[in-house]
Amino acid sequence: MPINPADSPILGTLYGSDAMRAVFGERAYFQRMLDVEAALARAQGRLGIIPADAAAGITRAARVENLSTEELASSARNVGYPVVGLVAGLSRAAGEAGHWTHWGATTQDIMDSATALQVRDGLALIRIGLQDMVRTLTAQANKHRHTVMAGRTHLQQALPTTLGLKCAIWAQPLIQHVHRLDQLRPRVELVSFAGAAGTLASLGNQGIAVMEGLAEELGLGVPAAPWHVCRDGLAETVGLLGLVCGSLAKLATDVILLAQTEVGEVAEPYVTGRGSSSTMPQKRNPIASEYILAAARTVHALMPVMFGAMAADHERATGPWQSELLALPQAFVLSHGALLHAGAIAEGMAVDAERMRRNLELTHGLIVSEAVMMGLAPHIGRGEAHHVVKHACDTALAQSISLADALEREAAVSGRLDRKSIEQLTEPAHYLGSADAFIDRVLRAATTLP
């Protein structure tokens, strides 16, 4: 049984996705290494470095079903890397052609190129998840652009806002993450082919031609020079996943707070048994949001591992490189799981607009005291308006009356504004500023995604 819950058949349903595990699973990794070996043989066959029929034979044999798990485990335990056993199994399966496998390559060439293929597939899944989130959140932003609710600062009611703007704010960084991902891909989806010490000396003057041919076969980019000790691309990749998870964690935190019994404005979509308690029948816990936060914290904890791996010594790292295998796949699996949880929340979130209105009225108008102050300022000056409205707020709180009633008792107010004008100023829906315009700007930004 897997030690990490994200990889288990039961708990893995909470922490990750089968789609991403299929990309980064061990069997998939070995197949990707075989894909690299086969592509190398084809590239070298075209260049006349190895016989063309040998390249075809190696390609036919490069199937993970031809490898023995027991032999691979024994070899890896003894050698310290999986490629020696993989090459032995591939060579045996290829028959005579097997004499030409792994020609001029070294272990890290195969492993890093396989990793680049996995990262390419993993980023494609992340991109789809981000685009889906942007599409859903912008639709919710448009739908709820007139759903007025309390905006909160320091966990206290501050000024009115709209759920539409809140959704747009959730979407905004996700739009940027798609752009970041697209900008990142050419820097990380690169073939790795360096040979024993980064010179490709075993291939004479054909080293670069082989590297370019291998990249073409795999659909990867070609670096200016080998990147086997330049780990910035992979570190940046996990850094991007950390940013994605951070933005999803903001959404999850808001949903958790809005779902509190005392607030009750937004809740996760509910199906029978979802988020239930083993002892309290009434509970509907924000379970998806909780797992988003768990994933985010873990991905953020994995980022230092990847950044630490950048300190590769000389021409082959003694430890930092090996640590990436512990962090990179888990970062992808957890990030994708968080995206799927967030997508479900965004798509089906339960909105209680009536509760939002009741919560707006909890302070009997105090939430729009700024609106009154700004309305009075042209008549008596901003400083004096702040003083008058502050006094009215204190009166409203002390006597448990509405702000409108307290304002009527202020001579500086009643002498300039009638009751209707005061009520206009104390209506939350009349004090939303540029909320609509901000929503439109985010919607336009979303249309820039290719």
How does DSSP classify residue 193?
A: -
Catalytic residue status for 369:
no
Which of 68, 74, 202, 277 is labelled catalytic?
277
Under a CB-based contact definition with an 8 Å cutoff, are residues 112 and 105 in contact? no
Under a CB-based contact definition with an 8 Å cutoff, are residues 90 and 58 in contact? yes
β-partners of residue 350 are 267
What is the per-residue DSSP string for 362-428? GGTTGGGHHHHHHHHHHHH-HHHHHHHHHHHHHHHHHHT--HHHHHHT-HHHHTT--HHHHHHHT-G
Catalytic residue status for 74:
no
Looking only at the bridges linking them, the beta strands covering 350-351 and 266-267 are antiparallel
Instruction: Round to whole Å and give the CA distance between 446 and 442.
Output: 6
Buried b (16+ CB within 10 A) or exposed e, 25-34: beebbbbbbb
Under a CB-based contact definition with an 8 Å cutoff, are residues 223 and 193 in contact? no
The length of the chain in residues reads 450
Catalytic annotation, residues: 154, 277
